[in-house]
Structure 1
């Protein structure tokens, strides 16, 4: 079964919009794990507009499944990850002013930088993943960095699938097959939803984990969070 890691950034966004501590990010992380999610994902940004760096520390003792921290490895982020030592760190090349992640790494251009960062994380017992566009050449570049996994950026697939273009899965499948050949683990995320998750999972050989936040939280407004978590789990079997 592909693991479901719930990205809880949107819960922090809602909290921050009002001030105070409602909804409670820590309690929400506890709840989604109780409902069956196999991981919790956060993506703190430098301006802390949703998840705050303090949230990352507060979540550490209560995430008993898998704790995945995403972000651009600026010095402050690296220091935090090394201090917390989550299960996994996912490296994302987002700009400070980006609304959300919008591109994967150029693993060829940034090979030396990524190699050094990944070595440091792995020396501290932290599993590493690199956010990638669905290009086989970038998978090969990721392999050279020593990373444990890649996370495929799935916005293009999700958009095309919503238009009825199921062939949009093809570059992702090609990347997955290459990962299987060379021993890289495969994660995926961005705009995956109840509408497209089963098709994506069924066509991706050895998909280890999906990280889903915006769609899952939005769907939960209508259907309820416990119900939606279990709907994803059923589709990922």
Structure 2
């Protein structure tokens, strides 16, 4: 993914570290929520319809970690620092999705998602932190999968605002196509994924996980402009 909008990697690493404080509070029957999922959820809030309420990163935290998430941070006097790094990441996404910049060059990739790459060092670290269990190592998600899970969960949580267009209308079909391009990143290998690629790409195209992720990010950028055209009309050119 070239020409991406720069991010503060130190801030992202600190955000990931502070999120580890919340891991012990994860219910036993659930997996800890990774930074990828939080990042995807926040991106969807920013590029989607506002639902009559100003979007906020706290919406993502409440939805993903429960409304009592701050208590664990309070116990370690880490809430103020967490809020600082969280809002900095939120502002980075907002800047990357600045409508004027997107309209100026719709071929430019501006989004830089926080994607965990599962190299051996990362696996060892996640095991030591308790985020992963040994039996999960052979079933790690593909690149971008967890980010897309967060994005699509935000869409589902606010579906009353997202699905306001008739499904058969031009706007409804455009929305479905953009969301499908994002959801495709999380499709496991198999018939559904193969059918989507066959329908959406030319036969000579070499489509791998990186291509699907790139196209998902461009779709997220397009969605930012889509929702600025009342009532969800055509993209600006």
TM-score for the superposition, normalised by structure 1: 0.21
Q: Which has the higher contact order (CA 8 A, sep 6+)?
A: 2
Give the number of the structure whose residues are more often helix, by fraction.
2
TM-score for the superposition, normalised by structure 2: 0.21
Give the number of the structure whose residues are more often strand, by fraction.
1
